[in-house]
Structure formats: structure tokens, C-alpha cells
A and B are shown apart, each in its own frame.
Chain A
């Protein structure tokens, strides 16, 4: 595969088969992560962005499963891989960090051992001293002060920011090609958030690693992403380079997202929220899933699911009104 993408997701469907009905959490997602770039995946909670990431890592839990579609990591198809083969890639080729650094580390194991474990899984047993040295080296790299002492600490003895650095160290230790970060800073203070984002950006630049960052925070997107996907109710509704997304927003939903960021300056009339609530995924609206919250919705939006259309250079949008809007704007 000569393409410049480290991750290519095509028409991914991941559903949860619950007692009270089928939930189509991921409903035909196409997504590319270019090599060496930071790609963002944005949406409200419950729109399926975390499930998309978990599908890549094979972490979707019962009663959920990947129904169809393809996930290629550096050209290699991941769906249909045996658990054993998939786990060999996880941690080595692709790793993931999670939203809650509080609960993402095992409370009864020392953090150093937990990071070292990532080494041992993929490299086999080496001497404990060697492992420890390597862990301390990566601790230094991700900016953990006093790495020697931290090695023997338990998770509850560390602050949230430090815990997230430990998670990053764990993810980085095998030098993966792709890092998936699921809301890595949501649980952190704003100052710590900035530090962690800078750290991720630096690591990406140094190692030529690609990053897929999942967030609901447009500020985070603006801060570090090269390219952005906007997700709503299990579908990608807009894809654009980051500047294009902010300057030439095409989808009414994205407009709503951007409008709901509070600003100090600006017209208070536009400081709005999106009317209505995120649809219950069990009872998805027909047609465009956003139609019942969309100020511009028409009969067609209720009937037909819109196709992705190109509205600008590398800028795609899933909206019946997309072309007309950009022509006007």
C-alpha cells in the first residue's frame, strides 16, 4: 500500500445488541489518519467516537461487535484478525490512552511495573534492572519528575496529570506508529491539559508518530490537530483540514458546535447551544440524523441520508444543503 495513511477505516459498522434493541453506535464510518499528522475526531458524548477507537483496538465489549467494514493499520487489515495477532500489534504498532487516568491504571500494581509490562509483552523477558532503566528513560522523556521514585509508586499516589503522563509513557514505550488518545485531557485541569497536549505534539514531531485524538473540545482541536473529523450519531458528518473547518464550516452541526464555544468577545446573540438533545441511539431519526435539531432541515433531510460531498479543497460534508451554503458563503 503506497498510501500516506497509517490508519484507514472504511464503512465501519459497530453495533450493540442489547436486550431492548440494537444500537448502531458506529454507522458506516470512513476515516483516515495520515502518517506523521495529528487527526482529530470530534463529537458530543455518545456519538460513537470512542467506540470507533475501541473498534480499532479490538476493545469493543459484549454485547457490542464490529458488524462490517474494514480497518487497515499501515496496510494490514485488522478486522477478522485473531485475538492473538491483534494483541501483538496493540502496544507495539498502535497504542491507546484513555480519558480517566484515575481508573485506567490498575490500582494494586506499581506504575513502573505496569509500564514495564508493555515492554515485556512484546519483547519477552529481559532483566528487571534493564526494564527499569528503560522505563525510567521514558518517564524522563514524558516529563515525569523524580522518575526513580515514581517507578515504585502506586497510581493513587500520583496526581491526575502525572497519571496521564504515565499512561503516555506506557503507550510510547514501544515507539508505536499510531497513538489513539481518547479524550486524554478531559479529566484534567486546564493548565495540565495544555502541558499534556504540548507533550503529545512534541512526541509526535520527534518520532514521526501519527496521532488520532478523540475529543469533544474544539479548543483542543484548534490547538493540535492537522485534520478534523466531526461525528454525529454514529456517522462522520464533516471532514476538513483544521483551518478550513473553522473558516469554512459547512455542516450545520459543526456550526452549532463552534457557536456553543463561549467567547469573551463577539456577538452575544450567537452564543448559543444546539437546540434539542443528542438522539437516543436506539431510536435514530430517519434520513439525516441531525434533522430534528437542524434549523435548516427540509423534507428531504427527513427522508434521505445525505452523501458526503466535497465543498472545498479536502473539505467534505454530509449535508443536503452543503453545496448551496458554501456557494453563498
Chain B
């Protein structure tokens, strides 16, 4: 319990740092917001008025504090282009991204763990080489390539699944596979190396000396140990999943957070970009925390330390 609190406390400086960095990065561009909001043909007077109204004339640190206070009240500002509160836009888009990420993760973990187990069990034989070749290819394929490939085959040629997504589960299948394909490769490689490591352990000999068959040894003794590092790895995957979501959402026009981010950068819509980046990053940090806690639930050696 103490360990958990300590872990949560260690997040705070990181969260502040994240807010500071997003703030600095996006506010560093001087005069930018107002000119974008207004376009070219406005008098200096109008520009000044708006600058004051948006607090842009205050010193940076004051702006930062009011920004942080706003964040804690759930106020991420108003989108320049869409003229709506960023928080509302994000909350509308979030369920789609969440669905996409969960489906993608499910695909990655099921395919990745299975492939990893098969490869580890057939170590240095043909299936191992084939699966590991595929997984390295999986890691190396740009997500937009697998996305376009899936669109071409399953939407255009086979006409099985919709070309673009409206957020419904069926329409999210292709984006999720495109998204998960990449992580599946990493999960498979991790599962394989971890399982091979664990199979070297002494307690595997003990289990076999007890009379357990190979499959039983793997399922009952090796897998539980081998998947511990894979859990940590899954948390790290969440971060790359959010990056991947930006791409798949763009290709399949999923109305999610990633698409908001792409749109906002093209329209130079600073509050929206700031909001989406902050939101996803906090999400990733919380995901890592959850994985840490999960790890300590699964591993009795850590569980007892608390």
C-alpha cells in the first residue's frame, strides 16, 4: 500500500513536467494564436483587444498558472477553428479512440502472445523462424502501409468491411488490426524471449522431474512467470498505440482524438493540439501506473513487499 502511494506520488513531478513542456512548446510561437484566429485584415486595435482578452499579454509564468488551474477545472480552452471547448471535443472523440485502442491491444496481445509461445516452443526450428520473421516484419511495416493494405484488400477487393469508420465496432475492425499489427510483433518477440528465459529456470526441471509433460510445464509453470515482463511491455505499448491511433484514425477517418490532433496541427489550432497531446499523455501515464499495479498483483514477490 505504501509502495502504491509512493508510486502515485512519483507521478506528480512528471505530470507537472508534461504540462510545462506542452505549454512552453506551444506558447513559444509569439502572436500566433491571435493572427490565426483573426486572419490578416484586422486593425492593430482588434488584435490588442483580443490579446488582452486571451491573457496573452500577461507574463508567461502567469499564463502557465492560469493554464494549469484551468486544466484542473477541466478547462482546456476553446478551439480556434471549431469554436467549441476543447474538453467537449476531446470527450466526444475519446470513446472512439478508446474502442480502437482496446480492440487493437486485444488483437496485438492475442496474436502476439500466441505467436510468441509457438516460436519459443519450437525454438530454432522452422515455425520459430517464420513467426519471428513475421514479427520483425510486423514491427518494420509502417502503420499507414498496413492500414492502406487492409483497406485495399478487405474494403475494396473483398468488400467485407467498411472503408471508413463512424466509430461503430464493425467499422473499427480494420483500423484496430492495422494498429495492433505493429504491437503484435513486439509482444511476440518479448513473449518468446521471456518464455525461453523462463524455460531455462531450475523450477522447470523441478516440474518435469515431478512428471509434468512439456505442455503442462509451459502452461502451468512457465507462462505465468514469462508473462510478467510482457505486462510491463504492454504498458509501454500503450504509448506507441496512441501514436499509432493518430495514423489509423487519419487513414480510416475515425472521429477520434488522433484525428483531432492531426486536424489541429494542420489548422494551427493551438488549444486543440495542446489539449489532445496533454490528454493522451496523461492517459499513457495512468496506463503505466495501472500496469505497475497489475504487475504487483500478479507477482507475489512484489505483492508482499508493500
Q: How far is the CB of A158 from chain B (nearest CB, A)?
A: 12
Stretch at the interface among A70-78, A100-108, A135-143, A321-329: A100-108
In the complex, the answer to whether B213 meets A105 with C-beta atoms within 8 Å is no
A121-B210 contact, Cβ under 8 Å, with A103-B201, A109-B221, A157-B304: yes
Q: Mark B69-89, 1 if CB is under 8 A from A, else 0.
A: 000000000000000000000
A157 to B304, CA, bound (A): 9
Flag whether B202 is at the interface (Cβ < 8 A): yes
In the complex, the answer to whether A87 meets B221 with C-beta atoms within 8 Å is no
Residue of B nearest to A58 (CB): B208
Residue of B nearest to A84 (CB): B213
Q: Mark A55-67, 1 if CB is under 8 A from B, else 0.
A: 0011101100000
Q: Mark B290-306, 1 if CB is under 8 A from A, else 0.
A: 00000000111100100
In the complex, the answer to whether B210 meets A95 with C-beta atoms within 8 Å is yes
Flag whether A96 is at the interface (Cβ < 8 A): yes
A95 to B207, CA, bound (A): 11
Number of interface residues of A (CB under 8 A): 36
Flag whether B1 is at the interface (Cβ < 8 A): no
Q: How far is the CB of A180 from chain B (nearest CB, A)?
A: 8
Residue of B nearest to A110 (CB): B300
Flag whether A255 is at the interface (Cβ < 8 A): no
A83 to B221, CA, bound (A): 18
In the complex, the answer to whether A104 meets B202 with C-beta atoms within 8 Å is yes
Q: How far is the CB of B211 from chain A (nearest CB, A)?
A: 3
Residue of B nearest to A171 (CB): B209
In the complex, the answer to whether B300 meets A122 with C-beta atoms within 8 Å is no
A-B contact count, CB below 8 Å? 89
Q: Which of A162-194 contact B (CB under 8 A)?
A: 167, 170-171
Q: What's the dominant secondary structure at chain B's contact region? A: helix
Flag whether A118 is at the interface (Cβ < 8 A): yes
Q: Mark B181-217, 1 if CB is under 8 A from A, else 0.
A: 0000000000000000000111101111111111010
Residues of A within 8 A of B224 (CB): 106, 108-109
Q: Which of A78-92 contact B (CB under 8 A)?
A: 83-84, 87-92
In the complex, the answer to whether A90 meets B211 with C-beta atoms within 8 Å is yes
A154 to B299, CA, bound (A): 10
Residues of B within 8 A of A122 (CB): 211
In the complex, the answer to whether A98 meets B206 with C-beta atoms within 8 Å is yes
Residues of A within 8 A of B228 (CB): 108
In the complex, the answer to whether A59 meets B298 with C-beta atoms within 8 Å is no
In the complex, the answer to whether A91 meets B210 with C-beta atoms within 8 Å is yes
Contacts A/B (CB < 8 Å), 27 sampled = A57-B208, A59-B208, A83-B213, A87-B208, A89-B211, A90-B208, A90-B209, A90-B210, A91-B210, A92-B211, A95-B209, A95-B210, A98-B202, A98-B206, A100-B202, A104-B202, A104-B205, A106-B207, A106-B221, A106-B224, A108-B224, A117-B210, A118-B211, A122-B211, A154-B301, A154-B304, A157-B304
Interface residues of A (CB under 8 A from B): 54, 57-59, 61-62, 83-84, 87-92, 95-96, 98, 100, 103-109, 114, 117-118, 121-122, 154, 156-157, 167, 170-171
